[in-house]
Amino acid sequence: MDAQLEKEFAAFAEELADAAGKEILPYWRKPIEVESKIEPNRPVAESPATIADRNAESAMRKLIEARYPSHGIYGEELGNVRIDAEFCWVLDPIDGTKSFITGKPLFGTLIGLCHHGRPVIGVIDQCVLKERWVGIVGKDTRLNGAPVHTRGVAALSEAMLYATTPLMFAEGFETERFTKIRDAVKRPLFGSDCYAYGLVASGFGADLVVEADLGLYDYAALVPVLLGAGGLMTDWQGQELTLQRHEASRGRVVAAANSSLHEAALKLLREPESERVDAIATASVLKPHLQHLTPYLPPLDGRDIHKHTLLDFNERTVAVPNHIIDALKEHLDTKGLRCYPAYGDLAAVMAKQYGVRTEECIFTNGSDQGIELVVRCCCKPGTEAIIPAPTFAMYEQAALTEGLTIRRPFFKKETGFPTEEVLALVGPQTSLIVLSNPNNPTGTAISRANICRIAEKAPHCAILVDECYYEFMKEAVGEFESTVKDEICRYTNIFVCRTFSKTWGFPSLRIGAVLSAEANIRAMGSVRGPYDVNQLAPVAVRAALANNQYMTDYVGEVMNRSKPKFESYLRSIQVDFWTSCSNYIFCYFDNPTPLESGLRSKNILVRPKKDEKGILGLRITMGTVEQTDNLIEALNELLLKPNGAEPASKKQRL
């Protein structure tokens, strides 16, 4: 990277810091809602997040997208895009949110720029104290424009050591190693987050920082600051900290004021060679892009059909009728479970239900497998997927698994589906466009005309139209607008997904279908395994289709009675919500987190979700009229003011 670009990017990084500070300061030492992010596999499972975090990151991302649209972004709060780009910005809007929410001015905004994955520019900005460190590899680090340099003592026994908390080290190896170094230094200190690294870089008396369980966004900005000040910063093995090596480094870092302290610390921190070799060998067999993925872990644990009213996963909220259960029991009694599945004419039966030819239908292990098959069959690694957000997480999961770059236009409450933005994003690198119709979690419909416009504009792209809520949408807007399955011959790039998990009532059996042109279905059949759908699922499908009145009755009750009733209730208490064409409503209550907990205490489960602005709402599944009455009664009890006034709720203005 040449000197002119360095100067340009460093100045831009400071612009980003200014923008973040403007979003953070209005919330400093003011009442603010704090949300908990739970990651059970981390030493400290809970971490807080606030509207200040999200707004600050959003402001920075908008500037990056406008100025450098080809650059990648790796953000703590709002996800990653184009992280394989030559230049990638790594953002932590508030490093030290716990300090921020308790009024301690030792948090900071971290802005790093990686060039081919290597951190080359870093900013630590403390907007309350108006202190800003800017580091460029190969240049002097500056604090508020003045050069700073590490000092540091010569021996560990004289060193001042910082770590954010002793709880950040996992039991076993990490705790043992940190204990060794803690006991070797003169004074261990805790609680300064990124600010400690600035203290080491400035030579103010801090000599060493040792931490673990860090994300890339926690340290990418710190590396240039330390190096530019004359210090060293590596992982516990002494290896360079880069985007590509993040998994191998395991979030374990050591920053030292000088080489003697760094080497002394490494002697106590390094893993035994055998463990390190095993770890490297394990990491090296994975495709590089998979090392950055995290699993989609929906909150399923503890859900109980006998205890809870399940209004959180958009499932059918009452049991399927006995004739389906009886068919399953008969199969188990007469045929058992010993044989591999044999499907017979299942494809023809399902094709008839959907109104397409047998050759245009392939059954799948739920619609999730249909999504995965479309991506696997149609998308080359390195191409782009346009996935309007917020939406169902499995679309991005499937795309990222195949090494795609995600482009995210946004659904908006006021304007609905972002048709023009989607069309503008289509380019030669686009291989997939996902159209969730209606969208989850907002319930927004996408018109048939717009789907066809997109399919026509992008003949080189797979157009994945997810119609898993088709039966509900059909009740809301009619057959013509609720499906494009009759367009699959005209537009051979359209793939329609359907499922038996929602209206039909057996998500645990995992069966769905993809409808597309005959040649597409034939190719997908070569990729899908011969036994991917379990034998009980077809039994349930045949029984359900043979007597489907239970499904139509349920859809009618939900869409014509329960949903209008709940919408009327929301209007009466002035709670804002999205117009929905399905069996769920995305609505905005004041203080949604405690409200969700309160409903849970009453054994009613709903799902917290964020909109395109990062505002937290509740997605509430509509059930029977009786269940809706119980929900309204519970909400009235929870929303009732202490003085006994009418329930008070309105959209949270952020």
Domain extent, residue 600, equals: 298-321+548-654
**Residue 57 is part of a domain; what is its CATH number?**
3.30.540.10
Average pLDDT on 469-487 reads 95
User: Same structural domain for residues 396 and 277?
Assistant: no
Residue 296 has pLDDT above 90, yes or no: no
**Residue 354 is part of a domain; what is its CATH number?**
3.40.640.10
User: Same structural domain for residues 501 and 594?
Assistant: no
* 236 confidence band (pLDDT: 50, 70, 90): very high
User: Same structural domain for residues 231 and 356?
Assistant: no
| Residue 227 maps to a domain | yes
Per-residue pLDDT tens over the stretch 400-438: 999 998 888 999 999 999 999 999 999 999 999 999 999
| Residue 327 maps to a domain | no
Residue 622 has pLDDT above 50, yes or no: yes
- Please provide the distance, in angstroms rounded to a whole number, between the alpha carbons at the two ends of the chain: 39
User: Same structural domain for residues 555 and 528?
Assistant: no
Please say whether the beta carbons of 608 and 312 come within 8 A.
no
Please say whether the beta carbons of 239 and 284 come within 8 A.
no
Q: Which of 546, 577, 601 is the last residue of a domain?
A: 546
| Residue 329 maps to a domain | no
Structural domain total, the chain: 3
Q: Could you tell me where the beta strands, DSSP code E, fall in 444-593?
A: 462-466, 494-499, 512-515, 576-577, 584-588
* 614 confidence band (pLDDT: 50, 70, 90): confident
User: Same structural domain for residues 526 and 571?
Assistant: no
Per-residue pLDDT tens over the stretch 26-73: 999 999 988 876 665 667 756 788 999 999 999 999 999 999 999 999
Percent of the chain with pLDDT over 90: 82
Per-residue pLDDT tens over the stretch 148-163: 999 889 899 999 999 9
User: Same structural domain for residues 310 and 343?
Assistant: no
User: Same structural domain for residues 405 and 476?
Assistant: yes
* 648 confidence band (pLDDT: 50, 70, 90): very low
Residue 381 has pLDDT above 80, yes or no: yes
Please say whether the beta carbons of 160 and 185 come within 8 A.
yes
For residue 246, which of 235, 257, 261 has the smallest C-alpha distance?
235
Does 49 or 349 have the greater pLDDT score? 349
Q: Would the CA dihedral through 195, 201, 206, 211 be positive or negative?
A: positive
DSSP string of 42-58, one letter each residue: SSS-EEEEEHHHHHHHH
Q: Where are the alpha helices (DSSP H) in 358-498?
A: 366-378, 393-401, 419-425, 448-457, 470-477, 479-482
Q: Which of 502, 530, 546 is the last residue of a domain?
A: 546
User: Same structural domain for residues 315 and 425?
Assistant: no
* 572 confidence band (pLDDT: 50, 70, 90): very high
pLDDT for position 616: 87
| Single-letter residue type at 515 | L
Is residue 498 helix, strand or coil? strand
